Amino acid sequence: MIKAVVVDDELGARESLSKMLEKNCKQIEIVAKADSMLSAFEAITNKEPDLVFLDIEMPNGNAFDLLEKFKNINFNIIFTTAYDHYAIKAIKFSAIDYILKPIDPEELVQAVKRFEERIGEKTTLDKQFKTLLSNVRPDNKLKKVGIPDGDGLIFINLSDIIRCDSDGNYTFFILTSGKKIIASRTLG
């Protein structure tokens, strides 16, 4: 038997997935269900599942926040999601599986089969997860923006910008210091 944990903050989605697994994937034994990041962390830690069906968006964080709490990822993941095409691309690239909501029973069966085929692979789950995180949360995030002024560009930390106001062809950048910078050219 494959031990699994089902994580979804929505009761209906959690129960629907559980019933689909019981009906269509007899090799899956649901050892726990969780409705929050905390209960998911506890269930995964205590039950040591082989596979976790994990909703990406949850109250107080998301699946990636939850997974970062684990020192080592020693379980497989099938994400369940209703949206976020960028995350789906990152998940695909990391060789970690996903199912779009509403979940189709045939897609569920196929995802479980892919998991079973991967069981013997040498690629570590930790490596897959690290690849996923680097795709979803790259370290090279934009930290500064170049604003054209009369002499060239002024580079400002994004965290220093409170807001941008537009007036015709001008954009006014209001900074946390109270300073106001006027862009000398249109930005769009």
For the chain, how far is it from start to end, CA to CA, in angstroms? 57
> CA 148 to CA 168: how far, in whole Å?
16
Strands 57-58 and 61-62 turn out to be antiparallel
Residue 40, class by beta-carbon neighbours within 10 Å (0-12 exposed, 13-18 middle, 19+ buried)?
Answer: buried
Domain that holds residue 23: 2-136
CATH for 35: 3.40.50.2300
Q: Is residue 178 part of a domain?
A: yes
Sign of CA dihedral 70, 137, 37, 32: negative
Whether residue 123 sits in one domain with residue 156: no
Is 162 within a domain? yes
In a domain, 9, yes or no: yes
pLDDT in tens, 135-161: 666 554 557 778 887 777 888 888 788
Q: What is the mean pLDDT of residues 59-64?
A: 84
* Domain assignment present for 91: yes
Residue 89 has pLDDT above 90, yes or no: no
What average pLDDT does range 79-100 have in this prediction? 70
Q: Cβ(44)–Cβ(5) under 8 Å? A: yes
Name the more confident of 19 and 72: 19
